[in-house]
Structure 1
């Protein structure tokens, strides 16, 4: 299977009409599930990210996804058993030795499968397992945060629906894509 090259920028997205009869019928008879990322399917994650995201990720990122501490918060999103999205997170030092921050490196769903609950299921999973005030990997989670390209207001709205707040706008965060600015969204304890 040949995948198109990754995008170099995002155009403003138009939210799908979730009340369209066809979308309602698809949603009514669909199954959204979360699956573990393993050595056997890590290349599916890599291919999804190449198609979904405007920035490439190094092989080291995918090795980090498989590490014992981070793997439980990195998942594939399945729609009727088809991998259509993923979330990959990493742990970062918090304000002291007893705290972690969770950084959402990637969260994406193939365009055809958006607005069917896959991204919400992935984000809910991360927040349920390693959200603010949770204990994860031997430490308390103080926050979950991420960057969103400013040309992607639909993603920003998704995160805000889950209680994330805009904490900063970084100019020239993405040096090789346009627009290069990013919103920093965070959910705190």
Structure 2
């Protein structure tokens, strides 16, 4: 698939972000996000200081731009017990070394959007998190009006677990945030009271349907047996013709 904004068929490759990427990394962040990031953040990204990152590049670009960033994702490892989603994890609290991967930023330049690059970058993060035995989930925040991002994460099986009111403050205005989680390494959300009640209700409803089905089945079986007024005995329906000739006082129940 070729984006009409690109004059060639791109050859997308992925690699770690490196110090030489800092200028274009800052520019893309400025173009994509309404939030301003400090220079320290970019220094930490390009030098790998407590931040892991992946860059997308188009090897088919000319004019020496074949290694220039066209997309990126940055993430940080955090301790599960100290995170804001600790209550949303089913894990052994006695194991204090369990971690999470928090996605900090994800962006693709305009000309290269809708080519699956963002999805591929997220897959890199999920693969990385899954390779860490003690990691339990990947999570992130999405501003409430970013519908394309919300659709993307839902499509990739992230679970929207919370809405945080007034989470972002941009140009003096507050915006809500959605919290998305993707569980890895067998982790899952603990069963909430609401989920438990729903499960019990579903089981009860299924059980009642099963009982009703059995009762209907028994009734259908009973209909197939005629009862003779005189003998009060049950005679198979297959002998209906014989019943009419030999016992004129029969009715069907």
| Same fold (TM > 0.5) | yes
CA contact under 8 A between 1:52 and 1:108: conserved in structure 2?
Answer: yes
1:84 to 58, 66, 70: 70
Deviation at 1:148, TM superposition (A): 0.7
CA offsets 1:134-184 (integer angstroms, 9 cap, x no match): 31xxx6211111111111111111111221010111111111255611111
CA distance in 2, matches of 1:121, 1:111: 16
CA contact under 8 A between 1:151 and 1:179: conserved in structure 2?
Answer: no
Is 1:121 the counterpart of 2:109? The answer is no
Is 1:130 the counterpart of 2:129? The answer is yes
Q: Normalising by the residue count of structure 2, what TM-score does the alignment of the two structures yield?
A: 0.57
Deviation at 1:34, TM superposition (A): 0.9
Give the gaps of 5 or more residues in structure 1. 1-17
Deviation at 1:68, TM superposition (A): 5.3
CA contact under 8 A between 2:100 and 2:129: conserved in structure 1?
Answer: no
CA contact under 8 A between 2:140 and 2:181: conserved in structure 1?
Answer: yes
Is 1:171 the counterpart of 2:165? The answer is yes
Deviation at 1:59, TM superposition (A): 2.2
Deviation at 1:69, TM superposition (A): 4.9
CA contact under 8 A between 1:99 and 1:141: conserved in structure 2?
Answer: yes
1:94 to 80, 90, 105: 80
Deviation at 1:42, TM superposition (A): 2.1
CA offsets 1:8-32 (integer angstroms, 9 cap, x no match): xxxxxxxxxx7xxx649x6993211
Runs of 4+ in 1 over 4 A off after TM superposition: none
Give the gaps of 5 or more residues in structure 2. 61-65, 82-94, 188-253
Correspondence for 1:8 = none
More helix by share: 2
Is 1:182 the counterpart of 2:173? The answer is no
State the superposition RMSD in angstroms.
Answer: 2.5
Q: How many residues align?
A: 162
CA offsets 1:20-64 (integer angstroms, 9 cap, x no match): xx649x699321111221122122212111111110112232233
State how 1:139-158 maps to structure 2 within 5 Å. Answer: 140-158=134-152
State how 1:34-73 maps to structure 2 within 5 Å. Answer: 34-65=14-45, 66-67=47-48, 69-71=50-52
CA distance in 2, matches of 1:23, 1:58: 32
Determine which structure has more spread, i.e. the larger CA radius of gyration: 2
1:161 to 132, 155, 166: 155
- Larger RCO, structures 1/2 (Cα 8 Å, 6+ apart): 1
CA distance in 2, matches of 1:118, 1:179: 30
